[in-house]
A and B are shown apart, each in its own frame.
Chain A
Amino acid sequence: MLSLHFKRALLDIRHNRLLNAVTITTIALSILIVSAAILFFINTTDMLEAWRRGIRIMVYLEDDLDPGRQQAIAARLKGLYGVQEARFISKQTALEHLRAQMPRQSAILEGIGQNPLPDAYEVQMIPSARTWEKAEDLAQRLEAIDGVADVEYGQRWVERFITLFNLFRLTSYAMGGLFFIASLFIVGNTVRLILYTRREEVEIMRLVGATERFILAPFYFQSMIQGILGGIAGLAALLIMFMLIQSKIQAVAVGGTVALRFLSPGLMMAIVAASALVGWLGCHLSLKQYLKA
């Protein structure tokens, strides 16, 4: 019985190729946009998490401190709660780092008579304190130490990023909702159109004793197939785009730390299932309306 309806649905899809292609494309676009947003969230969350775990605070010292004060600062620094380790980076080491990082600009650096960089401590936090709030708190305490010129941990930048991230999240929820409704509408419309062209056939089926269920089942199958195909097409498009972007990034950041990941198989399955559900729902709403009329 089920295979009968399924076959019927496939025949219907073949018979109304263009209409079905349009519907499937719309669903695919919706799925592409929604799953692109999901993919973005997953990777940015990963990135934020990596930053959080690797959070370091740079403590820059005032110029030309005598060794005694410097040692006192080191002792205060290491005594603060939340500090796991503090590594001294002298201005010479910093300059050498800079030279190594920018070999082409080394000529410019040679031109500088005096080393303009400050001495610094790189503070590593204990794992339980590696959150943005605790970093902020620690930074304030570090800043209060006499002889500390400046404290930096890229907090501003991260905060701004998180705000942007939340804004983007809201927008994509709204977009997702919009596309969800659009998909429902277009699936329902396809069903209505096909029903309209088939009204004679539907009437004949009723006359020979078919139940409403028997008559309508192929429509549900058809819409769910549309949902599944649309879902798969959308994900396939996303995968292609993902691979293009990834190869670009890989080319820029040679041996870099950027490791993007794609949606997990489970999540992809869930997305396709959700897409099938959208098909079912669009069909159901449309048929309910049709049967009432």
Chain B
Amino acid sequence: MIEPSAKAAIIRLFHVYRHYHAQNALDDLTLDIYRNEFLFITGPSGAGKTTLLKLLYRGETASEGQVLVDGINISRMARNRIHLLRRKFGIVFQDYKLIPTRTVYENVALVLEAAGRNARYVRKKTHSVLRTVGMENRMNALPPALSGGEQQRVAVARAVVGDPTIILADEPTGSLDAKSASLIMGLLKTFHTRGATVVVATHDRELIRSIPARIIYLNQGQITVAPTI
């Protein structure tokens, strides 16, 4: 891979493998993600998109190879420092991962509370983000009472509320109608403009076409030449 701006890479993967038993979810993956880049990772189901994202925030560890985030080799990161790594990321999980017993507001505010922000800031910021995703009138609802699309919007709100450096979004528009999808993408675009690095994993071609961005095509855990999108 040519590295014209290696210094600007915020994430670097060197010959990364991730095995699950006999299967290689990621197979000798080398990739740089640049600071303030908007990157799509696409490919068929089971290609390893989610696995790749998990490696970045130590949701999984690489079986082999090195993963660097902000110049830090996270494969060797001590357990009691992982929360610092995770605070750099805002993550929209494919399965949302909202806490079912806590309200929409509490789910979003949690990020700021965990980061030790003061109560006034937490209240103000949480309200403002929920307004942005159009969920402020469902603030006191519990996630199970929400539609898939609504849950996804809450998940996006939680991902961006902490003003992260890097936003990872795994199928962030999977359960949304076209209108909501473009709202979410507009939101991600806004955060990108403000300086965040945004990585979106999706197999939605419409979505990929909607924004000019670098596209990585993953197949069977390897980066391949994209078939015509």
Q: Which residues of A line the B interface, CB within 8 A?
A: 1, 4, 15, 200-201, 204-212, 214
Q: From residue 86 to 108 of chain B, which have CB atoms closer than 8 A to chain A?
A: 86-87, 89, 91, 93, 97-99, 101-102
A212 to B78 alpha-carbon distance, docked (Å): 13
The interface stretch among B61-69, B112-120, B169-177, B213-221 is: B112-120
Cβ contacts under 8 Å, A212 to chain B: 80
The answer to whether B80 and A205 touch across the interface, beta carbons within 8 angstroms, is no
* Centre residue among A204, A206, A209 by max chain B CB count within 10 A: A209
Cβ contacts under 8 Å, A208 to chain B: 86, 91, 110-111, 114, 158, 162
The answer to whether A4 and B99 touch across the interface, beta carbons within 8 angstroms, is no
The answer to whether B114 and A205 touch across the interface, beta carbons within 8 angstroms, is yes
CB of B46 within 8 A of chain A?
no
Residue of B nearest to A201 (CB): B99
The answer to whether B86 and A4 touch across the interface, beta carbons within 8 angstroms, is no
Interface of chain A, main secondary structure:
helix
Answer whether A207 and B110 are a contact pair too, CB < 8 Å, given A1-B116, A201-B99, A201-B101.
Answer: no
The answer to whether B80 and A207 touch across the interface, beta carbons within 8 angstroms, is no
The answer to whether A207 and B57 touch across the interface, beta carbons within 8 angstroms, is yes
Answer whether A209 and B116 are a contact pair too, CB < 8 Å, given A201-B99, A204-B97.
Answer: no
A200 to B98 alpha-carbon distance, docked (Å): 9
A207 to B59 alpha-carbon distance, docked (Å): 8
Given contacts A1-B116, A210-B110, 7 further A-B contacts (CB under 8 A): A15-B101, A200-B99, A206-B83, A208-B91, A209-B84, A209-B115, A209-B162
Nearest Cβ on chain A to B103's Cβ, whole angstroms: 11
Assign chain B's interface to a size class. Answer: 20 to 34
The answer to whether B97 and A209 touch across the interface, beta carbons within 8 angstroms, is no
The answer to whether A214 and B99 touch across the interface, beta carbons within 8 angstroms, is no
Nearest Cβ on chain B to A162's Cβ, whole angstroms: 56
Answer whether A204 and B114 are a contact pair too, CB < 8 Å, given A209-B87, A211-B83.
Answer: no
Q: Which residues of B line the A interface, CB within 8 A?
A: 57, 59, 80, 82-84, 86-87, 89, 91, 93, 97-99, 101-102, 110-111, 113-116, 119, 158, 162
The answer to whether B99 and A207 touch across the interface, beta carbons within 8 angstroms, is no
* Centre residue among B82, B93, B114 by max chain A CB count within 10 A: B114
A211 to B87 alpha-carbon distance, docked (Å): 10
Cβ contacts under 8 Å, A4 to chain B: 113, 119
Nearest Cβ on chain B to A27's Cβ, whole angstroms: 26
Residue of A nearest to B164 (CB): A209
Would you list the 7 A-B pairs with minimal beta carbon distance, nearest first?
A210-B114, A209-B87, A209-B86, A208-B111, A209-B83, A201-B99, A211-B83
A108 to B86 alpha-carbon distance, docked (Å): 95
15 contacts between A and B (CB under 8 A): A4-B113, A201-B99, A204-B99, A205-B99, A206-B86, A207-B59, A208-B86, A209-B86, A209-B87, A209-B114, A209-B162, A210-B110, A210-B114, A211-B80, A211-B114
* Centre residue among A201, A204, A214 by max chain B CB count within 10 A: A204
* Centre residue among A205, A207, A212 by max chain B CB count within 10 A: A207
Cβ contacts under 8 Å, A1 to chain B: 116
Residue of A nearest to B89 (CB): A209
A155 to B38 alpha-carbon distance, docked (Å): 95
The answer to whether A205 and B110 touch across the interface, beta carbons within 8 angstroms, is yes
The answer to whether B91 and A207 touch across the interface, beta carbons within 8 angstroms, is yes
A15 to B102 alpha-carbon distance, docked (Å): 12
A204 to B80 alpha-carbon distance, docked (Å): 16
* Centre residue among A201, A206, A211 by max chain B CB count within 10 A: A211
Cβ contacts under 8 Å, B83 to chain A: 206, 209-211
Cβ contacts under 8 Å, B99 to chain A: 200-201, 204-205
Answer whether A214 and B59 are a contact pair too, CB < 8 Å, given A204-B97, A209-B86, A209-B162.
Answer: no
Residue of A nearest to B114 (CB): A210
A292 to B93 alpha-carbon distance, docked (Å): 27
A208 to B98 alpha-carbon distance, docked (Å): 11
A201 to B99 alpha-carbon distance, docked (Å): 6
Residue of A nearest to B82 (CB): A206
Cβ contacts under 8 Å, B93 to chain A: 207
Nearest Cβ on chain A to B56's Cβ, whole angstroms: 12
A1 to B111 alpha-carbon distance, docked (Å): 13
The answer to whether A207 and B114 touch across the interface, beta carbons within 8 angstroms, is no
Cβ contacts under 8 Å, A209 to chain B: 83-84, 86-87, 89, 111, 114-115, 162
The answer to whether A214 and B86 touch across the interface, beta carbons within 8 angstroms, is no
Residue of A nearest to B98 (CB): A204
A211 to B86 alpha-carbon distance, docked (Å): 10
